[in-house]
């Protein structure tokens, strides 16, 4: 794995290939053109891809770094205290529980049926 870090100036374009894990921190007013769009029609695919990305990319990277270093890097890059970040991370399993995901899928299905 490789990490690229850079600064993009006005008028410059950055292309991130499909399935390329990336993060962006905007320091001023920014306009972004992206194809990452989620609605009821593609929610199941997005969730499947998110799970795949977590299993195949993010979790192996985190395991290689170790929990303390991951927490430190995340807290620093997000500009939050490690204690606050730890609290949020501990809540994630509840947010991604089968019951919570079922609720999201049912809401998406209801919205799709209502709009058609």
| CA pseudo-torsion sign 63, 22, 2, 72 | negative
Q: Per the domain annotation, does 33 fall within a domain?
A: no
Backbone torsions φ then ψ of 43, nearest 5 degrees: -55, -45
Q: Is residue 101 part of a domain?
A: yes
Number of structural domains the chain divides into: 1
Is 82 a member of any domain? yes
**Residue 32 is assigned to a structural domain of this protein:** no
For residue 68, tell me if it sits in a domain.
Answer: yes
Which residues form the domain of 107? 43-115
Per-residue pLDDT of the chain (116 residues; tens, 9 = 90+): 677 788 888 778 887 776 677 777 878 777 776 666 777 777 888 888 888 888 888 888 889 988 889 889 888 888 889 999 888 888 888 877 888 878 877 887 777 677 66
The rounded distance, in Å, linking the Cα atoms of 106 and 27 is: 37
If we measure between CA atoms, which residue out of 14, 35, 12 comes closest to residue 23? 14
H helix runs in the chain, sequence order = 43-53, 59-65, 67-78, 82-95, 98-115
26 lies in some domain: no
């Amino acid at each position: 794995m490789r990490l690229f870090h850079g600064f993009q100036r006005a008028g410059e374009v950055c292309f991130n290939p499909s399935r390329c894990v990336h993060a962006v921190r905007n320091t001023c007013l920014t306009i972004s053109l992206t194809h990452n769009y989620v609605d009821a029609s593609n929610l199941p695919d997005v969730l499947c891809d998110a799970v795949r990305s977590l299993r195949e990319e993010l979790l192996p990277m985190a395991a290689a770094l170790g929990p303390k270093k991951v927490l430190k890097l995340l807290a620093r890059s997000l500009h939050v205290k490690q204690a606050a970040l730890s609290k949020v991370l501990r809540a994630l399993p509840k947010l991604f529980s089968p019951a919570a995901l079922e609720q999201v899928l049912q809401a998406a299905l209801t919205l799709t049926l209502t709009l058609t």
